A and B are shown apart, each in its own frame.
Chain A
Amino acid sequence: MPFEILEKQELVPTIYLMKISAPRVAKKAQPGQFVILRINEKGERIPLTIADFDREEGTITMIFQTVGKTTAHLASLRAGDELLNFIGPLGNPAHIQKEGTVVLVGGGVGVAPIFPQTRAFYEAGNRVISIIGARSANLLLWEDRMRAVSHELYITTDDGTKGHHGFVTDIVKRLLEDGVNIDRVVAIGPPVMMRAVAGVTRPFNVKTIVSLNSIMVDGTGMCGACRVLVGNETKFACVDGSEFDAHLVDFTLLMNRLAVYQPEEKIALERYKCEREGCLC
């Protein structure tokens, strides 16, 4: 049952939007959930967070960054092409209710999964403060979309080309130190960034939720590839998460486990480039 790509755009360099026709998945999708896809017969299964969904249109939108072979291959596909497998919605929906003031933090490509949650928190009647960051202004994602569902929006860039010169954590820290009454922080982005946010909010005892992006194979709880340590207990991110209490997560272990296949990932990407561009070696 192939799944048609209805739309593909390069949003900013290396970050792509892809809209897939998948009516059965769209019918059930909730913010915070993810899908697993496989491009073709020889492909691997990769998890991608659902960035948006449209039940009437029967579509799922994902945002991804090209980091290796499969995402590079995905980025080379066009509207009208098909994916062989598209499984979801997986994982637990994000816990969204009226909390009061919620700070949503999205780093890099993490702005995409934070968006549907931001919108949901906004619609649930919360005061929404959003902080989005990127390495550089040209890599900043979805500023307009995020602004539309936020009461306050802060922008940070590592190189100072837009907004605050520095990291998203600088803003989180400033808000807390200024005495802003924050009921909940939700952070999605690279593990280093999520760990840093957890480190900032911990002394202030502000409930902080992160979404863990560990390595997955099946995504249904049958293998434990995605296992993480939370409060010293082993959890499977695909079925117990992917949301967890940031103050209980062992981020060092997460980062170590994310690096398991680095040599193989490099081989696969180089081989893919050789096939497409002709080998220089």
Chain B
Amino acid sequence: MLGRQKMPEQDPAVRKSNFNEVALGFTEEQAVKEAKRCLQCKKPSCMKGCPVEVKIPAFLDRVAKGDFDSAIKEIKVDNALPAICGRVCPQETQCEQACVLSKKGASVSIGRLERFLADYERKRGAEIPTLPKPTGKKVAVVGSGPAGLTAAADLAKMGHSVTIFEALHEAGGVLIYGIPEFRLPKDIVSAEVEYVKKLGVNVLLDSVIGKIDTVDELLSEFDAVFLGTGAGLPAFLNIDGENLNGVYSANEFLTRVNLMKSYKFPEYDTPVKKGKRVVVVGGGNVAMDSARCALRLGAEEVTIVYRRGEEEMPARAEEIEHAREEGIKFRLLTNPVRIVGDGKNWVTHIECINMHLCEPDESGRCKPAPTPGTEHMIEADVVVIAVGTSPNPLVPRTTKGLEVSKHGTVIAKEDGATTKEGVYAGGDAVTGSATVISAMGAGKKAARAIDAYLKGK
């Protein structure tokens, strides 16, 4: 069996001091060779692993024949944002995990081929599909992250008039403020947003729903509302010293670096503290992104502190690997107990304690417990807290009849229907922080449900 094509990457020694994309993408020859590895299964299991149901064997077959133009069209029937998915989806737990080749060797690089096609198309200018006759129905989409963009694109393709309301000054949600340039270049996100706009979607930036308009007010103007407001409220550790100067939530740190481009300060006006010794607390993708940004800002030493072991880390294996190659240090089974500052209120150390994993509990998870007497100090002049986020309460607080769970997530059925008529929700707003692709899947399902609702109205 032919091995997987290796994707060219920037050398770790070089890339750790720039914000350019790490992975460089397949060449045309590589793409064709890689696509030829697909066995064209009669009952393709890969498709079951894709939350937005891309017809994988069909597009791979066209790539294998060198017909890139029709291959990308095939993807775009189901997925409006392939340049993003091809880069940030955890394919190893989705389509690629389900690929039959993975049973004996390496699966087809589905994500990398999707990315290749999207990049190929972008260079030539994306083609806009013919849109159906307008239905005359209006849908408001709140939030322009992956869930909102997908729902908006699908609704527009169904002939509805769609307006997206975005609180920030740029569209994209976590794609623009959270995921760094070196993993997902911002001009790619902008190009995908432009594509959605070309489908006829109107994007209103600087519009904080709950403040400038409430959902109830939107409902007087629109026939349905989709809430794709994400989970942007940062969790803190609630330990001593967390408000010291130099301590950031990952959301603040990444927003400064990515959205406000503070890595280009003072060319750009937003500053960020460039630490010499940076400690990032957490084990997810957000922690990896924060650590790798800190390194690129010029830190001498970046350490990730995580309370469980490597096996339990929620970050993608590829990201952990990339972080390691760049020299990020890992202190596993370690948990902060307090943050220590100098007399001028600046952070100097973080005190941690060693943890051990006990037997798995009824839920199957190992709850880590501290080992008494193992307290120790780690030097740090910048600390980034990346221990998760929950939904922002602004919309639920100002919307009558919209029920939320005790975790603050919007209660919604499988198809996105909430407890309020005409209001649908999906993505992190419903599930709590999850993946880009699951948010896109939720946006897709909700678009179908909204379409059915509007037809019955």
A interface, CB within 8 angstroms of B:
1, 24-25, 27-28, 38, 42-45, 69-70, 84-90, 217-218, 220-225, 227, 229, 234, 239, 253, 256-257, 259-261, 264-265, 267-268, 271
Contacts and interface: CB of A to CB of B under 8 A. Distances in A.
A259 B212 contact: no
Given A87-B208, A223-B255, 8 more contacts: A27-B212, A28-B213, A88-B208, A217-B256, A218-B168, A223-B251, A227-B243, A253-B243
Contact of B392 (A38, A220, A225, A227): A220
Interface string B189-229: 00000000000000011111001110000000000000000
Given A86-B206, A217-B252, A259 B266 contact: no
Contacts of B269: 42-44, 69-70, 268
Contacts of B345: 253, 256-257
**Interface on chain A toward B: helix, strand, loop, or mixed SS?**
mixed
Given A25-B212, A222-B234, A223-B234, A234 B266 contact: no
Contacts of A239: 394
Contacts of B409: none
A44 B252 contact: no
Contact of A234 (B242, B245, B248, B344): B242
Contact of B212 (A28, A217, A225, A257): A28
A36 to B, nearest CB: 9
A265 B265 CA distance: 11
Contact of A84 (B169, B260, B270): B169
A260 B208 contact: no
A19 B249 CA distance: 34
Given A88-B212, A218-B255, A224-B234, A42 B169 contact: no
Contacts of B337: none
Contacts of B256: 217
B167 interface: yes
**Interface on chain B toward A: helix, strand, loop, or mixed SS?**
loop
Contacts of B252: 217, 223-225
Contacts of B268: 42, 44
B394 A220 contact: yes
A265 B392 contact: no
A89 B212 contact: yes
B129 interface: no
B267 interface: yes
A217 B250 CA distance: 13
B321 to A, nearest CB: 29
Nearest to B341: A256
B244 to A, nearest CB: 8
Given A44-B260, A87-B169, A261-B271, A222 B212 contact: no
Contacts of A86: 206
Contact of A220 (B167, B242, B248, B265): B167
B392 A222 contact: yes
A256 B256 CA distance: 20
Given A223-B252, A224-B252, A24 B212 contact: yes
Contacts of A1: 204-206
B255 A217 contact: yes
A42 B267 contact: yes
